[in-house]
Amino acid sequence: MAQAVKKQALGRGLSALLKDPDNDIKSVSDKNADKVVGNIIELELDVIEINPFQPRSNFNEDSLNELATSIKELGVIQPITVRKLAFNTYQLISGERRLRASKIAGLSVIPAYIRIANDNESLVMALVENIQRHDLDPIEIALSYQRLIDEIQLTQEQMSDRVGKKRSTIANYLRLLKLDPIIQTGIRDGFISMGHGRAMINIENQDVQSDIYHKIVSQNLSVRETETLVKNYQESLKPKAISKVKPSTFVVNDDEKKSFTNYFGAKVDVKVAGNGKGKITIPFHSEEDFNRIMKLIKS
């Protein structure tokens, strides 16, 4: 929790730095530009304008309200990204849902990454250096990888070369961002480990994810116990196999059929199915014949 407070204080300090008109940061060569690139900064919502070329124009109102509720409870977990247009004026690059939901939630500021002129290589260097730090939590590392994909268009192979990590390792971090925001917050705050998070990734239902997360925390489950819990849940979703009936070896031979025919004085038909079930058909030719057979059955 103390870590989160530290980050917010840092964001406010950098925000004040950007409001100094005498030292306006316009490119990476300007004074203090290195403090901006790659860092999270708190920006007022009213200085951010929507990108007019944003291809997405329709936002589900219910989904936005749900996100706003989550933001009220947990804050904005993944910062938005903006481009600096002029002094204290910014244009949104990514994160319009988070921006809209933050306004609904009544926030006045939002955590943001700021892109400035000719900062591409500087940003890559800053993010790669950030990833190498030992005090980052798994979600922070995952967000840095995601930024390299979204903003610099690096592939996972290229990132692997840049940061010296296996592609599979990078993919495992990125998959954490598919988890419910509550679980991401739990990983950031140290309530659960990355291993716990990875065990839950393949569960698409976020309500189920949340239930399992609360069990992990309340019952202090290990990663292996969590994997077992997830496996049992996934097994419960599979359709139950229909038990196959073993074929019967029961057969009525000709002598047995002949015994029926001789006893009833009529050609008795005996049929047996593959499962051992069958039927016996006794024909009769008149009422008198029927009564004769009935006497034989009752005798």
Question: Which residues form the catalytic set?
Answer: 96
Q: C-alpha dihedral over 158, 162, 165, 166, to 10 degrees?
A: 20
**DSSP-based three-state secondary structure for 7:** helix
DSSP strand E in the chain: where?
41-44, 48-49, 80-86, 89-94, 109-115, 269-272, 278-281
- Residue 222: what residue type? S
- The Cα–Cα gap between 213 and 265 comes to 76
* 234 within 8 A of 202, measured Cβ to Cβ: yes
∠ at Cα 57 (61, 88), nearest 5°?
Answer: 100
Q: C-alpha dihedral over 72, 74, 78, 84, to 10 degrees?
A: 40
- The Cα–Cα gap between 103 and 99 comes to 6
Q: Which residue has the tokens 């300007």?
A: 30
109-115 β-sheet, strand order: 41-44, 109-115, 80-86, 89-94, 48-49
Distances (CA, A) of 221 to 139, 144, 175, 193, 234: 20, 29, 21, 11, 18
- The Cα–Cα gap between 178 and 25 comes to 35
